[in-house]
Amino acid sequence: MAMEKGALSPVGQQTVRPDPQWGGDLLDLDAYLRRTGYDGPLDTSVETLFALHRAHKESIAFENLDVALGRGISLDLGDIGRKLVDGGRGGYCFEHNLLLAAVLERLGFPVTRLLARVRNGRRLTRYRAHTVLVVSAGLELWAVDAGFGAEGLIEPVRLGAGEVTKVGAWSWRVIREQDQWVLQTLHEDGWFDLYTFRVERHFAVDFEVSNYYTAHHERSTFTGKVIAMRGTEDVQQTLVDRELTTRHGDGRTERTVLSGDAVVGLLRDTFAIRLTDRDARLLRQRLAALAPAPQDPIPTPQEA
Protein backbone atom coordinates (compact mmCIF):
# COMPACT_ATOMS: atom_id res chain seq x y z
CA MET A 1 0.00 0.00 0.00
CA ALA A 2 1.46 3.32 -1.06
CA MET A 3 2.05 5.94 1.59
CA GLU A 4 2.03 9.67 0.91
CA LYS A 5 5.18 11.79 0.84
CA GLY A 6 6.22 12.51 4.39
CA ALA A 7 4.86 9.16 5.63
CA LEU A 8 6.83 6.08 6.54
CA SER A 9 6.60 2.41 5.75
CA PRO A 10 5.61 0.26 8.75
CA VAL A 11 8.89 -1.60 8.26
CA GLY A 12 12.19 0.24 8.53
CA GLN A 13 10.92 3.37 10.30
CA GLN A 14 13.25 5.82 8.55
CA THR A 15 12.65 9.42 9.54
CA VAL A 16 11.11 11.55 6.77
CA ARG A 17 10.26 15.22 7.10
CA PRO A 18 6.46 15.81 7.15
CA ASP A 19 5.04 17.28 3.94
CA PRO A 20 4.72 21.07 4.45
CA GLN A 21 1.46 21.26 2.45
CA TRP A 22 -0.42 20.13 5.59
CA GLY A 23 0.82 23.01 7.75
CA GLY A 24 2.14 20.92 10.63
CA ASP A 25 4.46 23.74 11.68
CA LEU A 26 1.37 25.67 12.85
CA LEU A 27 0.54 23.09 15.51
CA ASP A 28 0.81 24.12 19.16
CA LEU A 29 1.43 20.67 20.61
CA ASP A 30 1.50 21.77 24.25
CA ALA A 31 -1.87 23.51 23.88
CA TYR A 32 -3.34 20.39 22.22
CA LEU A 33 -2.12 18.18 25.05
CA ARG A 34 -3.69 20.52 27.60
CA ARG A 35 -6.95 20.57 25.62
CA THR A 36 -7.20 16.77 25.55
CA GLY A 37 -5.83 16.27 29.05
CA TYR A 38 -3.21 13.86 27.75
CA ASP A 39 -0.15 13.61 29.98
CA GLY A 40 1.21 10.18 29.00
CA PRO A 41 4.26 9.14 26.97
CA LEU A 42 5.01 10.92 23.71
CA ASP A 43 6.77 8.08 21.93
CA THR A 44 5.66 6.31 18.75
CA SER A 45 4.37 3.14 20.39
CA VAL A 46 1.00 1.52 19.69
CA GLU A 47 0.04 2.27 23.30
CA THR A 48 0.66 5.99 22.81
CA LEU A 49 -1.29 6.00 19.54
CA PHE A 50 -4.28 4.39 21.28
CA ALA A 51 -4.11 6.72 24.27
CA LEU A 52 -3.88 9.86 22.13
CA HIS A 53 -6.79 8.72 19.97
CA ARG A 54 -8.98 8.03 22.99
CA ALA A 55 -8.05 11.35 24.65
CA HIS A 56 -8.95 13.27 21.49
CA LYS A 57 -12.25 11.45 21.08
CA GLU A 58 -13.23 12.03 24.72
CA SER A 59 -12.30 15.72 24.76
CA ILE A 60 -13.28 17.28 21.43
CA ALA A 61 -16.87 16.95 20.21
CA PHE A 62 -18.12 16.34 16.71
CA GLU A 63 -20.23 19.33 15.60
CA ASN A 64 -21.11 21.39 12.52
CA LEU A 65 -22.24 24.61 14.20
CA ASP A 66 -20.28 26.92 11.90
CA VAL A 67 -21.92 25.27 8.88
CA ALA A 68 -25.36 25.52 10.51
CA LEU A 69 -24.78 29.24 11.15
CA GLY A 70 -23.78 29.88 7.53
CA ARG A 71 -20.04 30.13 8.04
CA GLY A 72 -17.30 28.37 6.15
CA ILE A 73 -14.92 25.74 7.51
CA SER A 74 -11.22 26.52 7.21
CA LEU A 75 -8.74 23.65 6.87
CA ASP A 76 -5.77 25.89 7.65
CA LEU A 77 -4.16 24.16 10.62
CA GLY A 78 -3.75 27.47 12.45
CA ASP A 79 -7.49 28.10 12.13
CA ILE A 80 -8.30 24.55 13.24
CA GLY A 81 -6.10 25.01 16.29
CA ARG A 82 -7.70 28.32 17.22
CA LYS A 83 -11.16 26.76 16.97
CA LEU A 84 -10.81 23.23 18.38
CA VAL A 85 -7.89 23.77 20.76
CA ASP A 86 -7.88 27.40 21.93
CA GLY A 87 -11.58 28.06 21.40
CA GLY A 88 -12.91 24.95 23.11
CA ARG A 89 -15.09 24.12 20.13
CA GLY A 90 -15.61 20.88 18.27
CA GLY A 91 -15.60 20.28 14.55
CA TYR A 92 -16.34 17.76 11.87
CA CYS A 93 -14.15 15.08 10.29
CA PHE A 94 -11.81 17.28 8.26
CA GLU A 95 -10.94 19.40 11.28
CA HIS A 96 -10.61 16.51 13.73
CA ASN A 97 -8.43 14.27 11.63
CA LEU A 98 -6.19 16.94 10.13
CA LEU A 99 -5.50 18.15 13.67
CA LEU A 100 -4.82 14.64 14.96
CA ALA A 101 -2.62 13.90 11.93
CA ALA A 102 -0.46 16.93 12.69
CA VAL A 103 -0.11 15.83 16.32
CA LEU A 104 0.91 12.31 15.36
CA GLU A 105 3.41 13.53 12.77
CA ARG A 106 4.96 15.95 15.28
CA LEU A 107 5.57 12.96 17.56
CA GLY A 108 7.13 10.93 14.74
CA PHE A 109 4.27 8.68 13.63
CA PRO A 110 4.06 8.07 9.86
CA VAL A 111 0.63 9.31 8.73
CA THR A 112 -1.32 9.07 5.48
CA ARG A 113 -4.37 11.33 5.18
CA LEU A 114 -7.19 9.81 3.12
CA LEU A 115 -10.64 10.71 1.83
CA ALA A 116 -13.41 8.15 2.31
CA ARG A 117 -16.88 7.48 0.90
CA VAL A 118 -19.57 7.31 3.59
CA ARG A 119 -22.06 4.43 3.33
CA ASN A 120 -24.00 4.42 6.61
CA GLY A 121 -25.38 1.01 5.74
CA ARG A 122 -26.17 1.79 2.09
CA ARG A 123 -23.92 0.51 -0.70
CA LEU A 124 -24.10 3.62 -2.81
CA THR A 125 -21.12 5.30 -4.46
CA ARG A 126 -21.09 8.70 -2.80
CA TYR A 127 -18.53 11.45 -3.24
CA ARG A 128 -15.57 11.42 -0.84
CA ALA A 129 -16.96 13.34 2.10
CA HIS A 130 -15.04 11.90 5.05
CA THR A 131 -11.44 11.74 6.23
CA VAL A 132 -9.58 8.84 7.78
CA LEU A 133 -5.91 8.35 8.66
CA VAL A 134 -3.63 5.37 8.17
CA VAL A 135 -0.87 5.44 10.78
CA SER A 136 2.20 3.25 11.20
CA ALA A 137 2.97 2.07 14.75
CA GLY A 138 4.54 -1.08 16.12
CA LEU A 139 5.57 -2.14 12.58
CA GLU A 140 1.91 -2.34 11.55
CA LEU A 141 -0.67 -0.08 9.90
CA TRP A 142 -3.71 1.20 11.78
CA ALA A 143 -6.93 2.89 10.67
CA VAL A 144 -7.24 6.00 12.84
CA ASP A 145 -10.32 8.22 12.88
CA ALA A 146 -11.36 10.61 15.67
CA GLY A 147 -13.87 12.44 13.49
CA PHE A 148 -16.72 10.16 12.41
CA GLY A 149 -19.10 11.04 15.21
CA ALA A 150 -21.25 8.85 17.44
CA GLU A 151 -20.51 5.51 15.78
CA GLY A 152 -16.88 6.30 15.00
CA LEU A 153 -13.81 4.55 16.35
CA ILE A 154 -12.85 5.13 19.97
CA GLU A 155 -9.49 3.44 19.42
CA PRO A 156 -7.64 2.55 16.19
CA VAL A 157 -8.21 -0.75 14.40
CA ARG A 158 -5.42 -2.71 12.76
CA LEU A 159 -5.55 -2.40 8.98
CA GLY A 160 -5.95 -6.05 8.05
CA ALA A 161 -8.76 -8.05 6.46
CA GLY A 162 -11.22 -9.12 9.15
CA GLU A 163 -9.43 -7.30 11.99
CA VAL A 164 -11.83 -6.47 14.85
CA THR A 165 -11.54 -4.04 17.75
CA LYS A 166 -13.95 -3.85 20.68
CA VAL A 167 -14.23 -0.94 23.11
CA GLY A 168 -16.88 -1.11 25.80
CA ALA A 169 -20.22 -2.03 24.26
CA TRP A 170 -19.16 -1.42 20.64
CA SER A 171 -17.20 -3.35 18.02
CA TRP A 172 -15.63 -2.35 14.68
CA ARG A 173 -13.84 -4.25 11.95
CA VAL A 174 -12.17 -3.63 8.60
CA ILE A 175 -12.70 -5.86 5.59
CA ARG A 176 -11.40 -5.88 2.04
CA GLU A 177 -13.83 -5.26 -0.81
CA GLN A 178 -12.04 -5.53 -4.13
CA ASP A 179 -9.48 -2.70 -4.12
CA GLN A 180 -10.74 -0.84 -1.05
CA TRP A 181 -11.17 -1.15 2.70
CA VAL A 182 -14.53 -1.00 4.45
CA LEU A 183 -14.91 0.08 8.08
CA GLN A 184 -17.90 -1.56 9.75
CA THR A 185 -19.52 -1.43 13.17
CA LEU A 186 -21.57 -4.20 14.77
CA HIS A 187 -25.34 -3.68 15.04
CA GLU A 188 -27.86 -6.08 16.53
CA ASP A 189 -28.62 -7.47 13.07
CA GLY A 190 -25.01 -7.80 11.94
CA TRP A 191 -22.11 -5.77 10.58
CA PHE A 192 -23.03 -2.28 9.32
CA ASP A 193 -20.89 -0.44 6.73
CA LEU A 194 -19.72 3.00 7.86
CA TYR A 195 -17.42 4.01 5.00
CA THR A 196 -14.92 2.82 2.40
CA PHE A 197 -11.45 4.08 1.54
CA ARG A 198 -8.37 3.30 -0.53
CA VAL A 199 -4.81 3.78 0.68
CA GLU A 200 -3.40 6.15 -1.90
CA ARG A 201 -1.79 9.54 -1.98
CA HIS A 202 -4.07 12.53 -1.45
CA PHE A 203 -3.17 16.22 -1.50
CA ALA A 204 -4.31 19.15 0.60
CA VAL A 205 -6.21 20.56 -2.40
CA ASP A 206 -8.28 17.34 -2.57
CA PHE A 207 -9.38 17.96 0.99
CA GLU A 208 -10.22 21.60 0.24
CA VAL A 209 -12.59 20.63 -2.59
CA SER A 210 -14.34 17.92 -0.55
CA ASN A 211 -14.58 20.19 2.49
CA TYR A 212 -16.08 23.06 0.47
CA TYR A 213 -18.80 20.82 -0.95
CA THR A 214 -19.52 19.31 2.45
CA ALA A 215 -19.81 22.71 4.13
CA HIS A 216 -21.80 24.52 1.41
CA HIS A 217 -23.70 22.28 -1.00
CA GLU A 218 -27.44 21.93 -0.42
CA ARG A 219 -27.20 18.14 -0.84
CA SER A 220 -24.56 17.80 1.87
CA THR A 221 -25.57 16.04 5.09
CA PHE A 222 -24.17 18.93 7.09
CA THR A 223 -25.92 21.94 5.56
CA GLY A 224 -29.29 23.20 6.72
CA LYS A 225 -29.25 21.60 10.16
CA VAL A 226 -27.48 21.59 13.54
CA ILE A 227 -25.54 18.37 14.18
CA ALA A 228 -23.51 17.27 17.20
CA MET A 229 -22.38 13.78 18.16
CA ARG A 230 -20.45 11.96 20.85
CA GLY A 231 -19.63 8.33 21.44
CA THR A 232 -18.32 6.74 24.65
CA GLU A 233 -17.84 3.14 25.71
CA ASP A 234 -21.46 2.94 26.87
CA VAL A 235 -23.55 5.42 24.91
CA GLN A 236 -23.75 7.04 21.47
CA GLN A 237 -25.58 10.36 21.16
CA THR A 238 -26.61 12.23 18.02
CA LEU A 239 -28.27 15.65 18.02
CA VAL A 240 -29.97 16.81 14.80
CA ASP A 241 -31.57 20.22 15.25
CA ARG A 242 -33.77 19.65 18.33
CA GLU A 243 -33.95 15.85 18.29
CA LEU A 244 -31.51 13.91 20.47
CA THR A 245 -31.07 10.20 19.78
CA THR A 246 -29.33 8.20 22.49
CA ARG A 247 -28.23 4.65 21.76
CA HIS A 248 -27.17 2.53 24.73
CA GLY A 249 -24.83 -0.43 24.71
CA ASP A 250 -27.62 -2.72 25.95
CA GLY A 251 -29.64 -2.06 22.80
CA ARG A 252 -32.01 0.64 24.09
CA THR A 253 -32.59 3.70 21.90
CA GLU A 254 -34.24 6.91 23.13
CA ARG A 255 -35.38 9.94 21.15
CA THR A 256 -36.11 13.26 22.81
CA VAL A 257 -37.35 16.51 21.24
CA LEU A 258 -35.79 19.52 22.96
CA SER A 259 -36.39 23.22 23.29
CA GLY A 260 -33.85 25.69 21.92
CA ASP A 261 -32.62 26.48 25.43
CA ALA A 262 -32.23 22.76 26.13
CA VAL A 263 -30.19 22.30 22.95
CA VAL A 264 -27.80 25.08 23.98
CA GLY A 265 -27.47 23.53 27.44
CA LEU A 266 -26.83 20.11 25.93
CA LEU A 267 -24.12 21.44 23.64
CA ARG A 268 -22.40 23.25 26.49
CA ASP A 269 -22.69 20.51 29.12
CA THR A 270 -23.02 17.02 27.63
CA PHE A 271 -21.02 17.79 24.49
CA ALA A 272 -18.61 20.14 26.31
CA ILE A 273 -18.64 22.71 23.47
CA ARG A 274 -17.62 26.22 24.49
CA LEU A 275 -20.30 28.43 22.94
CA THR A 276 -20.08 32.19 23.01
CA ASP A 277 -23.21 34.05 24.07
CA ARG A 278 -23.55 35.33 20.51
CA ASP A 279 -23.43 31.83 19.01
CA ALA A 280 -25.89 30.56 21.63
CA ARG A 281 -28.27 33.37 20.66
CA LEU A 282 -27.91 32.63 16.94
CA LEU A 283 -28.55 28.94 17.51
CA ARG A 284 -31.67 29.67 19.55
CA GLN A 285 -32.94 31.93 16.76
CA ARG A 286 -32.29 29.27 14.15
CA LEU A 287 -33.97 26.52 16.16
CA ALA A 288 -36.94 28.78 16.96
CA ALA A 289 -37.86 28.70 13.26
CA LEU A 290 -38.57 24.97 13.57
CA ALA A 291 -41.81 23.44 14.89
CA PRO A 292 -42.59 24.18 18.56
CA ALA A 293 -40.85 21.99 21.14
CA PRO A 294 -41.62 21.18 24.77
CA GLN A 295 -39.88 23.16 27.48
CA ASP A 296 -39.22 20.13 29.66
CA PRO A 297 -35.63 19.47 30.72
CA ILE A 298 -33.58 16.81 28.94
CA PRO A 299 -33.88 13.44 30.68
CA THR A 300 -30.57 11.94 31.67
CA PRO A 301 -29.93 8.26 30.80
CA GLN A 302 -30.66 7.43 34.45
CA GLU A 303 -34.04 9.22 34.29
CA ALA A 304 -35.13 7.91 30.89
Which of the following is catalytic: 56, 96, 130, 202? 130
Strands of the 235-240 sheet, one edge to the other: 62-63, 227-231, 235-240, 243-248, 253-257
β 235-240/243-248 pair status: antiparallel
- Give the rounded distance of the alpha carbon of 7 from its chain centre: 21
Q: Which helix (H) or strand (E) holds 244?
A: strand 243-248
Which of the following is catalytic: 93, 96, 202, 279? 93
Is 130 among the residues known to form the active site?
yes
DSSP string, 81-147: IIIIIIS---B-HHHHHHHHHHHHHHHT--EEEEEEEE-TT--------EEEEEEEETTEEEEE-S-
Contacts of 53 (CB under 8 A, 6+ apart): 100, 144, 146, 153, 154, 155, 156
Contacts of 49 (CB under 8 A, 6+ apart): 104, 109, 135, 137, 142, 144, 156
Is 217 among the residues known to form the active site?
no
CB 159 within 8 A of CB 174: yes
Is 93 among the residues known to form the active site?
yes
Which of the following is catalytic: 145, 202, 241, 279? 145
DSSP string, 166-224: EETTEEEEEEEETTEEEEEEEETTEEEEEEEE------HHHHHHHHHHHHH-TTSTTSS
What residues act catalytically? 93, 130, 145
